[in-house]
Amino acid sequence: SISSFNVCGKTNSLFIFNNTISYHGDWKALGDKDYHGLVINNHVKFVWILENTFAFNEGDGLQINSIPTKPAQYLFIGNNTAFNNKQSGFLTNYAQDVIFFQNTAFNHTSLTSSPAPGMGFQYGPERVWFLYNHLYANTNGIIISSKSGPGFDGADTSS
């Protein structure tokens, strides 16, 4: 079991398989600390995230969080489970070419800092696919939010 995992820098060809990433922060706390379970940051490419569990994190279970000038790209998130995270199960910001495939997300309920979706995107990512996922007992299923973010103009969405 891992408390949190952050992938950043010019990382290529990474495979993250069969981990439990949980209890990063206080998932019932008020406020917005963004203590995510797994974070994929700028310049990260060709990543497979398979058969992991993300639970009880004070943020998203998994968040792809790059910026428009240095996007994460070519990410496959498949057959993972996320539950009881404060914000959402799976979320992407700004990334390109992301596939969410056969993931399960449940028990994400709205507190103070999120509409509590099972999964979604915001800030103008490009080419995001949601295929054959199982979302239940969340405040919202999939959230498609703003196409621009703080200090950035997001690209047009084509998802």
Sign of the torsion angle spanned by Cα atoms 53, 58, 60, 63? negative
Q: What is the pTM of this model?
A: 0.86
Q: What length is written for the chain?
A: 159
Query: How would you class 114 by CB atoms within 10 Å of its CB: exposed for 0-12, middle for 13-18, buried for 19 or more?
Result: buried
Residue 145 binned pLDDT confidence (cut-offs 50, 70, 90) = confident
CA distance 98 to 75: 5
Percentage, residues of the chain above pLDDT 70: 84
Dump pLDDT digits (tens) for 53-65. 999 999 999 999 8
Residue 68 binned pLDDT confidence (cut-offs 50, 70, 90) = confident
CA distance 87 to 115: 7
Report, in this order, helix, strand and coil percent for the chain, each rounded to 5: 0, 50, 50
Dump pLDDT digits (tens) for 91-126. 998 899 999 999 999 999 877 667 888 999 988 889
Residue 10 has pLDDT above 80, yes or no: no
